[in-house]
Structure 1
Amino acid sequence: MARFPKPAEGSWTEHYPELGTGPVSYRDSIDPDFYELERRAVFQRAWLNVGRIEQLPRTGSYVTKELKVVNTSIILVRTRSGDVKAFHNICRHRGNKLVWNDMPLEETSGVCRQFTCKYHAWRYDLDGNLTFVQQEGEFFDLDKSRYGLVPVHCAVWEGFVFVNFAAEPEQTLREFLGPMITDLEGYPFEKMTSRFHYRSEVKANWKLYMDAFQEFYHAPVLHANQSPTAYSKAAAEAGFEAPHYRIEGPHRLVSTSGVRAWEMADEMRKPIEDICRSGLFGPWDTPDLGEMPPGLNPARCDPWGLDSFQLFPNFVMLFWGQGWYLTYHYWPTSVNTHVFEGTVYFPAPRTPRERIAQELAAVSFKEYGLQDANTLEATQSMVESRVLDDFVLCDQEVLIRHLHKETAAWVEDYRRSTAEVQA
């Protein structure tokens, strides 16, 4: 899909006629059969972000990731050559989970020289090669070179670790990301080492939560209680419209203008924000991060609020004009449940005041996220009632149209390709 600036008159949606302007169905968020197809058509074929290289700082560093949506657990490890590799977390002997601590279904991390199975002590080196078999002579013509760990396609872009579960990925990671995302290269991700992480189990389809963060039409209403009454009432009546939307391939972007919180009237700020010089938009003292990459702030807003890049299928990178960023992940666990992960990144604080400012921003954003999540179970339950089948969307909800249409296109492509193979 080509990129378009919005003209003085017109809409964003009209630039993407293939999306249509009619009501949108949410059957894809309540149909168990569609979910099973979605798992195979999308999550077993697309590149999925599973972490950052800072989680693997040295040789032998590893983390595990539980991915119920593809019915597996994986190990990410930093090898002796410095590469990052991924393997299915399964021993080749009897199928036991290879790396786990006290609770087999919980994720874990650590540092090791080799992986040793808890069941019969088979050992694997950091490259996944089988190196030791207990009582090897008891086996029949065992060729250890044939029984290494099962690899998962793995690639790194700007420090983000991606995996792909297809037998052979249809695109390289860079091809999958496309220019809109690769134009972010050069952002100082490596400087953002102050990290806050949230995780929540949500009783709603993963796409419904993604929809909540793909538009800001809801912001003046849903988040009204976060502002003084006089300000929130005026904001709700005025409404909000983001200045820029973009769709490219399977990915999406929405940008917003911003506010300089310290320039707002005193009655519009909370006392704690003045004390900590921080709030929802981040610490007021913007760090010097150097020149920003060309992909940021495409609308050239001044002041600039944020850019939210929605990477298909379930990964979001959200950059704030105040010099920090956050990521979201939405990991499906069933047709009407998923795990939400939010991670906030700041530059390393130099003083206790900078640390407190970061903590206030992280806590403020968590509160907003909880407000968004609070609507989801109610939405899921009523969509499942099937009282209504189609729902009207406004121009600001163009990215919602795209997510559901793109997901349906991947499912249809999978149906067609598997039918051809069976024929």
Structure 2
Amino acid sequence: MAFFPKPAAGSWTENWPELGTGPVNYEDSIDPEQWKLEQQAIFRKTWLQMGRVELIPKKGRYITRELPSVGPGTSIIIVNDGEQIRAFYNLCRHRGNKLVWNDYPGEEVSGSCRQFVCKYHAWRYDLKGDLTFIQQEQEFFDVDKADYPLKPVRCEVWEGFIFVNFDDDAVSLEEYLGEFAEGLKGYPFHEMTEHYSYRSEIKANWKLFIDAFVEFYHAPILHMKQAEKEEAEKLAKFGFEALHYDIKGDHSMISSWGGMSPPKDLKMVKPIERILHSGLFGPWDRPDIKGILPDELPPAINPGRHSTWGQDSFEFFPNFTLLFWAPGWYLTYNYWPTGVDSHIFEADLYFVPPKNLRERLSQELAAVTFKEYAFQDANTLEATQSQIGTRAVLDFPLCDQEVLLRHLHHTAHNYVDRYKEAKANGNGSTNGNHAAPSEKAAEKDAANV
């Protein structure tokens, strides 16, 4: 398994000829019918990241997740039954009432319990989903409780991340995540339990926000005001180019310089950052744990082994971003579509728990600084959505630094195309998780030749 750069072919994009180099059509970000197809072909067929095991660390701990991206009203329960993490549809088998909720049925909740009890008629289920009690059972007609457990949802865990999949025929989580996930094993995720989170509704297609995070072409312009004057002028003059790109099947990654700690020139950062030893790239002082020094990192991180490496961003299709920073912390992003032109953006920041006030403030500064950058990106996305929605122009040229944008839209189209083909052939399974888009494209090209 190799995680080092491929031989140059004149550009990054030319390493993946199936993606092409021409303009990319963005109708997939404004067409309501395409969004409905994506919902069925992608979000009901792939592994979706729900959060960390630390959310439900003990027996009886549970969370609920509302997932309109999978289908209207879709809600699930994720629970620690004392032996494993399980997931179920959040509905009672009696008359379909929502099983777990508090004051407002549409809100996500968390808590601890010994069993789940329906608010409507008090049917009870244990933590494994088995029906254990029916109110006035004698009033029913030969009902067998064993026939009415909670309906399960496939649930698997990778490196402490909980995933679910609504397709019973999908490959295993580990096989789906593939080589990147294999190359990330061993990173000390379990040490980074100090957690900050943001959640916001964005008036833009889900793919547009991923587009913004898989290229740094925009950084010197959009984020110029966040840098000190001298640093901003330097970035504007020379631009910003990443160190490494890679694509493996449905998934991709981008590796970049920057993010090192402390900065070489303290005059280039703001006074508050000098005081707290922190900023956008996170706390400057590395935590005292194993697994984060350059020679300890798993092979998938900093694959080019660059001395100036600062961060890696892994895009696990369809909507999970895992971003590592050189100073020893990480971020996750999730993009949950609610319509063709809207989605919920979730960002979670994870640090090693602080040992003193200074460390805590340095983490809080990193979290606040991140939020400012995210707002800048989100604001631009809504402007983009409004203009491509006019359909005045739909084909847009992409540069070599935007190769992962090509891959994202290419992959999404492949899932939809396979789904439509399967439906036309009367086959309920798209085999979406069984072959990488790039492999299928290569097979198709070979057949055409």
TM-score between both structures, scaled by the size of structure 1? 0.97
Q: C-alpha separation between the residues in 2 aligned to 1:119 and 1:155? A: 31
2:344 to 327, 339, 347: 339
* Paired residue total: 421
Partner of residue 93, structure 2: 92
1:14-413 pair list within 5 angstroms: 14-71=14-71, 72-80=74-82, 82-169=83-170, 171-258=171-258, 260=260, 262-290=262-290, 291-413=296-418
C-alpha contact 2:260 2:327 (8 A) present in aligned 1? no
- The answer (yes or no) to whether the contact 1:344–1:362 under 8 Å persists in 2 is yes
Q: Provide the rounded CA distance (Å) in 2 between the counterparts of 1:109 and 1:302.
A: 43
Question: 1:45 and 1:9, CA in 2 relative to 1: closer, same or farther beyond 3 A?
Answer: closer
Q: Give the match's secondary structure for 1:287.
A: coil
Question: Contact conserved, 2:337 with 2:344, CA < 8 A, in 1?
Answer: yes
Task: Read off the aligned partner of 2:235 and give its amino acid letter.
Answer: A
* 1:421 equivalenced with 2:426 (yes/no): yes
* CA 91–259 in structure 1, closer or farther in 2 if over 3 Å, else same: closer
Specify the code of the residue in structure 2 equivalent to 1:78.
N
Q: CA-to-partner distance for each residue in 1:345-398, whole Å, 9 max, x for gaps? A: 000111111111111111111111111111011100101000001000000000
Contact 1:4–1:15, Cα closer than 8 Å, also in 2? no
Note closer, same or farther for the CA distance 1:374–1:351 as it changes in structure 2 (3 Å cut).
same
Deviation at 1:69, TM superposition (A): 1.1
* Cα deviation 1:19-53 (Å, max 9, x = unaligned): 00000011111001111111000011111111111
**Do 1:6 and 1:244's aligned partners in 2 also have CA atoms closer than 8 Å?**
no
Give the equivalent residue in structure 1 for 2:438.
Answer: none
* C-alpha separation in 1, matches of 2:232 and 2:40: 44
Whole-angstrom CA distance in 2 between matches of 1:421 and 1:137: 43
Give a deviation string over 1:50-104, Cα, whole Å, max 9, x none.
1111001100000000000112100000013x20000000001111110001111
Task: Call closer, same or farther: CA 1:247–1:93 in 2, change over 3 Å.
Answer: same
Counterpart residue type for residue 239 of structure 1: G
Task: After TM superposition, give the deviation of residue 137 of structure 1 in Å.
Answer: 0.9
Q: 1:292 to 1:260 in 2, by over 3 A?
A: closer
Q: Secondary structure of the residue that 2:279 maps to in structure 1?
A: coil
Paired with 1:8 and 1:58, the residues of 2 have a C-alpha distance of 49
Query: What SS does the aligned partner of 1:421 have?
Result: coil
Separation in structure 2 between the aligned mates of residue 67 and residue 259 of structure 1, nearest angstrom: 34
Measured on the aligned residues, the alpha-carbon RMSD in Å equals 1.6
Could you say what secondary structure the match of 1:306 adopts? strand
Give 5+ residue unaligned stretches, structure 1.
none
**Which residue identity lines up with residue 15 of structure 2 in the other structure?**
H
Percent identity between matched residues is 58
Of 29-38 and 223-232, the range deviating more from structure 2: 223-232
Contact in 2 for aligned 1:29/1:336 (Cα 8 Å): yes
In the alignment, residue 21 of structure 1 is paired with which amino acid? T
SS of 2:303 mapped into structure 1: coil
